[in-house]
Structure 1
Amino acid sequence: MRNIFKFRLWVLTLAFMSFTWPGEKAITVYLVGDSTMSQKAIKAYPEAGWGMPFSFFFNPEVRVDNRGQNGRSTKSFLKEGRWSAVMDSMNAGDYVLIQFGHNDEIQTKKNATTEVEFRTNLKRFVSETKSKKAFPVLITAVARRKFDAAGKLEDTHAVYSEIIRQVAKETKVPLIDLDRKSQALLTAFGPEQSKFLYNHLEPGEHPNYPNGVQDDTHFNEFGARKMAQLVLAEIRALKLGLADHIVSKDK
C-alpha cells in the first residue's frame, strides 16, 4: 500500500508541475535546421540529433518543438512549407533556434544554396521571426569529425559558418557559434576518442546497423548530449531570457 501511495503521489506531483494557470502561455522553442539537431526515428538509433536531449533541460514553462529534418537546407525548408508551418504556429515571446549549413554548402546536393541565397534565406528567417515578436537565435553548423594526417581537425564549414556570423551581426540577433565550440570539443577529445561522440559502430554491434557504420557527421546519444550542453551553455552566456527556464546545471 505504501508503494502504491508513493506512486500516486509522484503522478500527482508531475501533473502539478506540468500545470499552467489559466491565461499562462508556455514558451515554445522551435528548433529549425537539419539532421544534426533533428528527432530520429527508432530505426536510426543510436543516431541522435542534439535537439533530442536538449528538450529535457527546461522547466514545464518551456516546450521544445523540434522541426529539424534530415537533409534539409534553408532552400528546401522554405520550399517544402516547413518554415511557413513554423510561422503559422509561432507566437510572441517564443524562440526560434536556426541552424543550417551542412546541406546548403555541398554544391553537389540538390538542396544546396549559393552563398547569396544562404544569406538571403537566413535574413528572411530572422526578419519574419521578429515580425511575430518572437526571438531568433542563429547557430552555426556543428562540426564534422574530420582530422588530417597530422591529427588536426579540419574546418569543414568555414565559408557558410562565416556567413551566419555576419548575418547575426548585421541583423543584431544572438549567435551561438556551435561550429567553433564543437571544434574545440573534438580537438580536446582527439582523433580517436572523438569517435565516441559520433555514430560509429562495428558490424553486429547494433541491429539497426548489422554491417556497422562509420558516420562522422551524425551523433550517438552521448555526442548529442555533449552538443546540447554546448548550446545550453551559450544560452546562459548570452543571458537570453530562456536561460531562466533551464533546470539542470548540466555537468
Structure 2
Amino acid sequence: MNKGTKRQAAGSMAHANHKSRFLMGWLLALVLVLTACGAGAGTNGGNESATTPTDTPSNGASQTAGAFPVTISHMKGQYTLNEKPKKIAVLDVKFLDQLLAIGEQPAGSVIAEGNTTFPEYLGDKPGDVRVLGTRDKPNLEAIVALDPDLILMTDFQEKEYENVSKIAPTIVLDFYEDWRDTLATVAAITGKQAEAETVRKAYEDKIAGLKEKLSEKLGEETVALIRPRKEGIRVHGL
C-alpha cells in the first residue's frame, strides 16, 4: 500500500471512529434520559405496546378517576376494591417505581436478584419500604409478616401464585405488558389517575424532544436502545 493510500485509509478510519464516538455519545444521552424517565415515570424493567391511561384503561380497571369501588381485570380473573388499599406488597420493582412516581409507597417490595437494596436511581424515595426477598425468590415469610391488604405480582412468579394468593388478595399482571398499561392499573388501585396521566405525558414530551434532537444530529439514521444480558440482547421500545 503506498503512502497516499495509507493516508486515505487512515482518514477513513478516523472519520468512522469519530462517527462511532458521536453515535455512542447520543446513545448514552438517550440512556440517561430514559433512566431519568424511569425515576419519574416508571420503567417496566424489561417490559416492552402503547396505550394511554384513561378512566377505563385497556387492562380492565374500570372506574371514575379516584373513585371506589373499582374492579380490576387481571390474569387470574377480576378483583373489586371497595376502598384504597392501606398496605400493598409488590413482587416486581417496576411496581415500586410506578407507585413512587404517582406519590404512593408500597408497604413492601422485592429487589432485583443479586442486589441488596432498591435501585439507586430511586434515591431515598422508598423510605421504610420493607424488602420482601427478590423478584426471582419472593420471601413468603416476610410477606406474611407484612400482612398486606393487596399483593401485586406478574406471571413471572406464576409458580408462587398459589402460596402468595393465600396471604392476601393478589392481582397478577402480564410481565411483558406495556408500562403505560401497568401504570394505569396501579393508578386505578390507588385512585391516582390524574397523577399517572401527568407522569405519562411528561415521559412522552421528553421522548418527543429527544427524538427531535437526535433527528437533527443523525438525520435518517436510526437508534436502538439495547440492554445486553447473559441470555441475549434485549431491544427496548419507548
Task: Work out whether the TM-score is over 0.5.
Answer: no
Bigger relative CO (Cα 8 Å, ≥ 6 apart)? 2
Larger radius of gyration: 2
TM-score (norm 1): 0.30
